[in-house]
Amino acid sequence: MMPTRTVTADERLAMPPDRHSGHHPLALIVIAAAQLMVMLDLTIVNIALPAMQRELHFSTTNLTWVIDAYVLVFGGLLLFGGRTGDLFGRRQMFIVGIALFTVASLAGGLATTQALLIAARAVQGAGAAIASPTALALVATTFKEGAERNRAMAVYAAMSAAGGAMGLLVGGILVEVSSWRWVMFVNVPIGVAVLALTPLALPRGRGTRGRLDISGALAVSAGMALLVYGLVRAPSSGWANPGTIVSFALAAVLLAAFVAIERASQQPLLPLAFLRDRNKAGGYAVMLLLGAAMLSLIFFLTQFMQDVLHYTPITAGAAYLPIPFSVATTGLAVARLVRRVGTRPFLILGPALVTVGLAWVSGVNASSDYMRIFGPLVVVGVGMGLSFVPLTLNAVASVRRHESGLASALLNSSQQIGGSLGLAALVTVSTMVSHDQVQRRLAAGLGPGSISQLHAITAAASVHGYEVAFRIGASAAGLAVLLAVLLLRQTHPVEDAVQPGPGAA
């Protein structure tokens, strides 16, 4: 193997000895279980939202924070979490992240007020932000270059993609047979098992010298939080409301401050030079847009199936099974093919199929049967399966091993920030479209049977809002195709990677 550049002796000394000679199957099980648990929580709560709303008396606006608190903190702190693994040791920070996530899950299940539940979800997001990029970095540094690492990446990517869809099925079962609290409690035994096996499965490693860019982390996290807050409050408070305007203004100031801090810092949270690599910057942008499209699909389609088609939570969750099945089978096939054909073809075809699937599902209506949903879900699942493995390999190729946590965190950050911003923006658009349609229809007068007619008008308006959200999601995926064509070069991950395999040093 010929690396694209030479790794200096100083860099080799800085690299923690993460390579592990044995226990690879157990290491992969531990990493996959942790990633599955983290990704389950992106969606498992969606199915439980109606039950949470009834028991804790959430308003519709506040209810969105049960989702956004997790996704926003997760995405906002991913760079920070990935950097902690590089500095303090990946196994050590992996344990910290999983422990924090597990404790927060227990607290969330016991929550008796809205504030406690939202706070628990935010702490879950912080734990996930430490564990997830560290897990991906452990894959990159534990498994040998080539087929072994590609298979491990395929499993990791499959857990990332399938976890979101599986969360809906698991959540539906738990809500229907027990209560919404078990969508939180279910993480506790998984987290305890992962913590018990980690010392046996993963190499200890050691960190590198450096410091955490705390000011940068606070600026970007607070800026993203205010941006999402402004998007969430705009439908109810109005775009011209002083609170909405102040939220957007402060978000712009803090995000600009983040860029300034990173430029001035000697050890920045996000080295801006990282984004000068066209291939990597393009990959992050594609992941951001796919994250927005995917999370929005799951959020709105879940509401549609339960509120319009009147599916039970279990039925709605089971309806998503084509996605994890398609992602898993396609991802494994891509892992075998990517060494021969490179990443670029998959990174064009994958987002293109996601675009087709979202455009297809935008035609659903109150009389649609499941087969009208099944086809789009299969197409979207195949598209995501084609995309995740090449994007993951693209993120960790050609980076020094002590920067793999940062590279992993950037990819995950792109997905989660895209998901949080995309969901907030599309909820805003969908709500405004639905409200506008209701007002226009009410202006014509209800006439006899007005109560039942009002319900029908409201349901039709909601469906129209979902359709608009799906079409915008399809546009986001279509933009990902365009960026892949314009920015991504043909690469073969094994040839591009610089991390030496066992004995290669």
The whole-angstrom separation of Cα 473 and Cα 484 is: 17
Of residues 187, 173, 152, the one with CA closest to residue 39: 187
CA 251/CA 448 separation, integer angstroms: 49
**CA dist 103 to 52, 186, 191, Å?**
20, 12, 9
Please answer whether residues 484 and 344 qualify as being in contact, where contact means their C-beta atoms are separated by less than 8 angstroms: yes
Whether residue 58 contacts residue 66, with contact meaning beta carbons closer than 8 Å, is answered with yes
- The closest alpha carbon to 7, from 406, 394, 399, 270, belongs to 399
At a CB cut-off of 8 Å and minimum separation 6, what does 418 contact? 287, 288, 289, 290, 291, 292, 295
Q: How many DSSP H helices and E strands does the chain contain?
A: 18, 0
Amino acid at 492: H
Please give the average pLDDT of every successive group of 10 residues along the chain, which has 505 residues: 36 40 71 82 80 84 79 76 80 92 96 94 91 78 72 72 72 87 93 92 69 80 80 74 89 91 81 77 90 84 84 84 85 82 88 95 86 92 89 73 66 77 81 81 62 73 87 93 85 44 29
Q: Could you tell me the CA-to-CA distances from 285 to 288, 341, 466, 501 in Å, in that order?
A: 5, 22, 25, 29
The string of pLDDT tens digits covering residues 34-57 is 888 877 887 788 778 878 988 998
φ, ψ for residue 4 (rounded to 5)? -75, -20
Among 162, 129, 165, 224, CA closest to 420? 224
pLDDT for residue 61: 66
pLDDT of the residue at 450 = 60
Q: At what angle do helices 404-442 and 450-487 cross, to 10 degrees?
A: 150
Share of the chain above pLDDT 70, in %: 84
Distance CA 199, CA 185 (A): 24
> Which pLDDT value is given to residue 181?
94
Please, what is the angle between helix 404-442 and helix 214-237, to 10°? 10
What are the tokens at 496? 């591009």
DSSP string of 422-442, one letter each residue: HHHHHHHHHHHHHHHHHHHHH
Q: What is the pLDDT of residues 152-193, one digit of tens each?
A: 777 776 676 666 667 878 888 888 888 899 999 999 999 999
Residue 269 and residue 250: Cα distance in Å, rounded?
21
C-alpha separations of 386 from 97, 200, 381 in Å: 29, 33, 9
Q: Is the pTM of this model over 0.85?
A: no
Tokens of 108: 């969330």
Q: Which residues contact 321 (CB under 8 A, 6 or more apart)?
A: 165, 169
Q: How many CB atoms lie within 10 A of CB 490?
A: 11
Rounded distance between C-alpha atoms, residue 259 and residue 424, angstroms: 23
Q: How far apart are CA 481 and CA 434, in angstroms?
A: 29
Determine the pLDDT at residue 501.
Answer: 30
Yes or no: say if 286 and 391 are a contact pair by the CB < 8 Å rule. yes
Question: In 3-state terms, what secondary structure has residue 488?
Answer: coil
Distance CA 121, CA 398 (A): 35
Assigned token pair, 327: 């992602």
